[in-house]
């Protein structure tokens, strides 16, 4: 065949070798582009991690300390003025607002820290239950019937923020003495609950920014947040997440908005 078209065999071999060489070079170019893309993603992730750590340090070393100082000043004014029916309640409200700001800043710091590293679900739940902010006031019981699931950094951050907000709400509003933190896997769904024995709320209770933020984070995790409460019967916050095939929460993906 090669001789029939008048082209010597060495020339055909050279042409085939050239074609293979061009194909190999093209494959190497594609491979190099993919390597460059991966390196760029790693560099971007490293920059984001360093920036989160910097913001966390700034919040802790500057903003949080300024709030502490403002709280000390308010307490000093309250001690000097004594109890005044006109000024006293205002000072108490100021102290409560400052304490809420401290809790919020701590939550932001914890969220920034959690975004930079993966974690294990069981360890995250147990760490939340051991938090001295909650242990000092509440009797916290932990009931875990789950495998040791690995969380991606973003998942760990969202879950830590949801749990911290749920416990903070118990401290602020529930007037509870006992909280049960539980987790279980049922019907291919991970269910995490924070149950208190506080005063409870009415079904028509207005939804605050904290609860809206928790529901948005649950949506980003691919799940939903549900509240069970009644006056005098305490409150339970349920977070339900679908399980992926390998026994871990799914990657972040949009999900239908919670109607609760």
How far apart, in whole angstroms, are the C-alpha atoms of residue 92 and residue 74? 9
Residues 208-225 have pLDDT tens digits of 777 888 899 899 999 999
Query: What are the phi and psi torsion angles at 55 (to 5°)?
Result: -65, -40
Please report, for residues 20, 102, 158, the alpha-carbon distance to residue 125 in angstroms, rounded to integers and kept in the order given: 56, 22, 13
The first and second tokens of residue 196, run together, are 């208190």
How far apart, in whole angstroms, are the C-alpha atoms of residue 121 and residue 37? 31
Indicate the pTM of the whole model: 0.58
Find, among 189, 185, 195, the residue nearest to 224 by Cα: 189
Residues 58-101 have pLDDT tens digits of 777 788 788 878 888 888 887 887 767 777 788 888 888 887 78
Find, among 199, 259, 193, the residue nearest to 229 by Cα: 199
How far apart, in whole angstroms, are the C-alpha atoms of residue 97 and residue 174? 17
Residues 186-211: what's their mean pLDDT? 87
Find, among 12, 239, 64, 249, the residue nearest to 154 by Cα: 249
């Amino acid at each position: 065949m090669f001789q029939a078209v008048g082209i010597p065999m060495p020339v055909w071999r050279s042409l085939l070798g050239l074609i293979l060489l061009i194909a190999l070079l093209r494959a190497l170019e594609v491979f190099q582009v993919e390597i460059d893309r991966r390196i760029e993603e790693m560099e971007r992730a490293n920059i984001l991690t360093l920036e989160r750590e910097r913001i966390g340090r700034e919040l802790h070393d500057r903003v949080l300390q300024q709030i502490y100082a403002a709280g000390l000043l308010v307490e000093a004014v309250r001690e000097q003025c004594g109890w005044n029916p006109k000024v006293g309640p205002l000072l108490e409200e100021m102290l409560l607002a400052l304490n809420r700001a401290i809790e919020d800043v701590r939550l932001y710091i914890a969220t920034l820290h959690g975004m930079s590293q993966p974690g294990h679900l069981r360890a995250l739940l147990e760490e939340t239950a051991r938090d001295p902010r909650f242990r000092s006031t509440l009797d916290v019981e932990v009931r875990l019937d789950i495998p040791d699931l690995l969380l991606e950094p973003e998942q760990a951050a969202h879950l830590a923020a949801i749990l911290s907000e749920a416990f903070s709400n118990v401290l602020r509003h529930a007037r509870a003495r006992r909280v049960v933190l539980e987790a279980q896997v049922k019907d291919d769904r991970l269910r995490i609950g924070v149950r208190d024995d506080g005063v409870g709320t009415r079904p028509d209770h207005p939804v605050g920014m904290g609860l809206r933020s928790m529901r948005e984070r649950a949506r980003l995790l691919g799940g939903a947040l549900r509240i069970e409460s009644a006056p005098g019967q305490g409150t339970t916050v349920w977070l339900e997440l679908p399980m992926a095939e390998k026994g871990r929460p799914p990657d972040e993906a949009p999900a239908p908005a919670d109607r609760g």
